[in-house]
Amino acid sequence: MDNFTSILILIKGVLQMTSKLQAWRFIAILIAVVLSFAVWRAPELITAIRWW
């Protein structure tokens, strides 16, 4: 739950930054966050897909 709260705080900070950033920069940051999360969770996702 603590990890989830830190993720929400991070998202809130990113959303506050986007008011100053241009849209394409926000999209690039979002893609980078999603890719880093996917790489971080890759072993669990691969095993989940394999067993699914």
In order along its 52 residues, the chain shows pLDDT tens digits of: 577 788 788 888 877 776 666 777 777 888 888 888 878 777 887 787 787 7
33: which residues sit within 8 A by CB, 6+ positions away?
14
The answer to whether the pTM exceeds 0.75 is no
Q: Which segments of 1-52 are extended strands (E)?
A: none
- Residue 20: its pLDDT value, please? 64
Single-letter residue type at 4? F
Distance CA 48, CA 28 (A): 28
Distance of CA 9 to the CA centre of its chain: 12
